[in-house]
Structure 1
Amino acid sequence: MPHYAALRPESVLDAVAAAGLDPDGRLLQLNSYENRVFQVFLEDGSVVVAKFYRPQRWSDAQILEEHAFALALAAADVPVVAPLALVPRDEGAITLQGEPPTLAQITLEGEPFRYSISPRRAGRAPDLEDPMVLQWLGRFLGRLHAVGAESGFKHRRTLDVATFGEAARERLLAGDFIPPDQLPAWRSTCDAALSAVREVFASVGAVRRLRLHGDCHPGNILWRDEGPHVVDLDDACTGPAVQDLWMLLSGEPQAMAAQMHQILQGYRLFMPFDARELALIEPLRTLRMIHHSAWLAERWSDPAFPAAFPFFGTGAYWSQQTSQLREQLAAMAEPPLQLY
């Protein structure tokens, strides 16, 4: 597990100071399962967010691609919170990477930690029942994708069946996380679901793949009076455009069709949308379900995860997963979402 115990308050303040900023001694740890994130108050009255990356999750190259994407978006006036360029106070205290330098590494109590620092930005959840909000979100994502389409990732993951489905399945089976009495049903249902996912992707054919936010659910979008913004691109990946749209939908198919209609009214002002991708919504939802279970399994040695997800690994959890995958099999057999 990560040696997060080394991230004591004084260590976090030392890391921020080493990166050229002046903490006033106050900090607040923010909710984050994957990384460790701290709100740090500075002597000039401003506030920044220091993000310490989970060891072994991303390579330096993958993190730097995330940073470069955020900086490109910010340069195009797309409202994202990009990492700050860091100027070390002592050249020997930390090492920096990136152009500009945005990724720092420091050794704390013998443990190496990589981190970045960003301005603090707050917001509230978007009102997804308001058609005007959905159109605004569509414009925001259209602009984000227009920048995302300008070039590609070389190091970050691609959202496909192999990576998010088959590899996740293998990790779960290899880790012995599924109770023996639940294993046969889950494995056979998962195999059937992945087969259906592959069939739908094959039937849709080749679609454009571009740089995405990757995890664009409502909790990752913050709304202010001036509109939406995002503070984290930690799950940025390459994939079809619809991946950043479908998690904003909810309800019955007719309701989702109406919501997508509003989103695309805004989206298409900045980016074309291939309607064939609508058939990928349920397959992508299926991959997300399997990948989420594998994510929990991979993090189980981190004490934060058993405390936050005590139901994981129980017979009830895997019975529920099997039922939900069966529902996905039925959903993937239905005609794709129809726009009006």
Structure 2
Amino acid sequence: MPDTPFPRSAQDAHPTSVAPFAALDPQVVLDTLWHAGFHPDGRLLQLNSYENRVWQVHLDEGEVVVVKFYRPERWSDAQLREEHRFALALAAEEVPVVPPLVLPAEDAAAGVCRDGQQGTLGHVQLPEGPSWRFAVSRRRAGRPPDLEDERTLAWTGRLLARLHRVGAREPFQHRPRLTVQTLGTAARQALLDQGLVRPELDAGWLRASQAALEAAQAVFDEVSSASGGLRQLRLHGDCHPGNVLWREEGEQAGPHFVDLDDCLTGPAIQDLWMLLPGDRDSAGTALDRLVEAYQSVRDLDLTELRLIEPLRTLRMLHHSAWIARRWHDPAFPRAFPWFGSPGYWAQQATELWEQVERMAP
């Protein structure tokens, strides 16, 4: 048996034999869609997704849909309904997103039920026990956006401003709120509680992560004070280039946002900074173009630009905790075999100290 980077306490807390999607095979996918009122012709393709399970399915009438099975116990029904309502509100304002479809039918005898409010959230219960929530949307083809192109960057910035105009109209009641505590402190504590960081070996990461959180909170406090309180609105939440599709032709040409799975409440800059290139020299020019385009549609509090490095820091900590929380899913040890090793924490510590420097006044 290969060595594991985790101490035994972490393995016991998250046994790798527990697989939340183990029973979700192609036949279950096809049966679920059939009983939800769709008519698959048998052709399906599993799409890449760590967090959920996503399938592309061809229907008898020639249409192609995408069905997403949500990871159990991650979101409540109320939180998923808010995601769907947000997507539908954006689509109603002609913001190019991919909203969920109303499920045409339900078959309680087959274990497939439709949510009673919007009809976009489905539940499937297998006879042997496992159950999932699911949603269906039309397939939207496209390619990753070329964010080094000024036209593409400007178009995307204007579209984000339109998304945020809708997001600012009403608050989320159930989705998370982006703070240093929720995205960073809680992530660090989760890693400590699971025994994944050992003080005798990983003291450098412990010091670096604590210093980074303190620096991030100081910047959040500084920006909040300067602007009279951070403006909070509904956000995409995970607006990296992989969640933007670019279409070349027709009425639907241009960028389209997909996957609102991580939508939350927070400052507008959260949806802009992840579109910037990794090269910091290029990022400054790209940021100028993106902000200029955004402000042609909606005002942006420029003091929020100071939050970019704190938000990058919080995402680093959150990513480590995300892998740890999912380690019981067999897909994660295969995808991140180096996770949890002393070398991993040493590298993370180095990057966090760099972030502390970047956040300095």
Specify the code of the residue in structure 2 equivalent to 1:235: D
Which of 219, 225, 238 does residue 215 from structure 1 map onto?
A: 238
The Cα of 1:19 is off from its aligned counterpart by: 0.8
After superposition, what is the alpha-carbon deviation per residue over 1:135-163, rounded to whole angstroms, capped at 9, x for unaligned? Answer: 00101100100000011101011110110
More deviation, 16-25/102-111: 102-111
Normalising by the residue count of structure 1, what TM-score does the alignment of the two structures yield?
Answer: 0.95
**DSSP 3-state at the match of 1:49:** strand
- Greater shift, 299-308 or 91-100, is seen at 91-100
**2:184–2:314 Cα contact (<8 Å) kept:** yes
Instruction: Give the whole-Å Cα distance in 2 for the aligned partners of 1:69 and 1:25.
Output: 32
Question: Distance in 1 between the 2:191 and 2:241 partners?
Answer: 27
- The reply on whether 1:106 has 2:133 as its aligned counterpart is no
Give the counterpart letter for 1:52 in structure 2: F
| Corresponding residue number in structure 2 for 1:321 | 348
How many equivalent residue pairs? 334
Distance in 1 (CA, whole Å) between partners of 2:259 and 2:331 is: 20
Kept in 2: contact 1:136–1:227 (CA 8 A): yes
List runs of 5+ in structure 2 lacking aligned partners: 1-17
2:282 and 2:71 map into 1 onto residues whose CA distance is 38
Instruction: Tell me whether 1:332 sits opposite 2:359 in the alignment.
Output: yes
| Aligned-residue offset at 1:270 | 2.1
Is the counterpart of residue 201 in structure 1 residue 220 in structure 2?
A: yes
In the alignment, structure 1 residue 82 sits paired with structure 2 residue 109: no
- Is 1:127 the equivalent of 2:154? no
Give the distance between the partners of 1:8 and 1:113, measured in 2 at CA.
13
Question: Any gaps of 5 or more consecutive residues in structure 1?
Answer: 335-340
Match of 1:257 among 262, 272, 284: 284
Instruction: Output one character per residue of 1:24-77: Cα deviation in whole Å (capped at 9) or x when no partner.
Output: 011111110001111111001111111111011000001110000000000000
Question: Contact (CA 8 Å) 1:182, 1:318: kept in 2 or not?
Answer: no
| TM score, norm. by length of structure 2 | 0.90
Which among 52, 56, 59 is matched to residue 35 of structure 1?
Answer: 52
Deviations 1:236-279 (A, max 9, x none): 01000000000111355553232112112221122110000000
> 1:124/1:181 Cα in 2 relative to 1: closer, same or farther (>3 Å)?
farther
Q: Which amino acid is the alignment partner of residue 320 of structure 1?
A: Q
Q: Spell out, residue by residue over 1:312-339, the C-alpha distance to the aligned partner (whole angstroms, 9 max, x if none).
A: 01111111100000010011015xxxxx
Counterpart residue number, 1:239: 266
Separation in 2 of the partners of 1:33 and 1:180?
30
1:166 to 185, 188, 193: 185
With over 3 angstroms needed to count, the CA separation of the structure-2 counterparts of 1:96 and 1:310, relative to structure 1, is: same
Please give the residue correspondences for 1:3-152 in structure 2 after superposition, counting only pairs within 5 Å: 3-93=20-110, 94-97=112-115, 99-108=117-126, 109-152=128-171
Question: Identity of aligned pairs, percent?
Answer: 56
Q: Say whether the 8 Å CA contact 1:311–1:317 is kept in structure 2.
A: yes
Letter in 1 for 2:151: M
Residues 80-123 of structure 1: per-residue CA shift (max 9 Å, x gap): 00000012253443222153201111112321111111111111
* CA distance in structure 2 between the aligned counterparts of 1:149 and 1:3, rounded to whole angstroms: 35
Kindly state the Cα deviation for residue 177 of structure 1 after the two structures are TM-superposed.
Answer: 1.2
Q: 269, 292, 308: which one pairs with 2:319?
A: 292
